[in-house]
């Protein structure tokens, strides 16, 4: 059984969503998470592979720490917050 995972983050001065679209989106999608809300940077999966999620989050966090160094990013972009919620996936009764 996998994990239920929800990741929500906010970036200050991410003009034109460069970091969200070129860094965050591909990494979280590679972890099996899907962007659920259009107005917020929220990705989730009801049953994600725990190893894949852990590896992708380990790739993402250092890149967010150095977001201003990413190609095309605003040099003043900074992570405001990231919330990561993980619990055991539960199957709904039929």
Residue 76's CATH number = 3.30.70
Evaluate whether residue 52 is within a structural domain: yes
Q: Could you tell me the pLDDT band of residue 53, with boundaries at 50, 70 and 90?
A: very high
Evaluate whether residue 42 is within a structural domain: yes
Q: Residues 46-59: what's their mean pLDDT?
A: 94
Domain that holds residue 76: 3-88
Long-range contacts of 59-66 (CB under 8 A, 24+ apart): 59/27, 60/23, 60/24, 60/27, 60/28, 63/23, 63/27, 64/9, 64/11, 64/19, 64/23, 64/24
Q: Report whether 46 contacts 1 (CB < 8 A).
A: no
| More confident call, 92 vs 9 | 9
Q: What is the pLDDT of residue 40?
A: 76
CA-nearest of 65, 62, 73 to 19 is 73
| More confident call, 37 vs 12 | 12
What is the count of structural domains for the chain?
A: 1
Evaluate whether residue 71 is within a structural domain: yes
Q: Residues 17-37: what's their mean pLDDT?
A: 93
Q: Residues 15-37: what's their mean pLDDT?
A: 93
């Amino acid at each position: 059984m996998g994990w239920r995972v929800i990741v929500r983050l906010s970036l200050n001065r991410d003009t034109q969503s460069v970091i969200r679209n070129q860094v965050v989106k591909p990494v979280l999608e590679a972890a099996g998470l899907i962007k659920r809300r259009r107005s917020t940077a929220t990705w989730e999966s009801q049953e994600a592979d725990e190893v894949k999620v852990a590896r992708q989050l380990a790739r993402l966090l250092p890149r967010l720490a150095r977001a201003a160094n990413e190609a095309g990013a605003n040099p003043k972009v900074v992570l405001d917050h990231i919330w990561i919620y993980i619990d055991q996936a539960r199957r709904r009764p039929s």
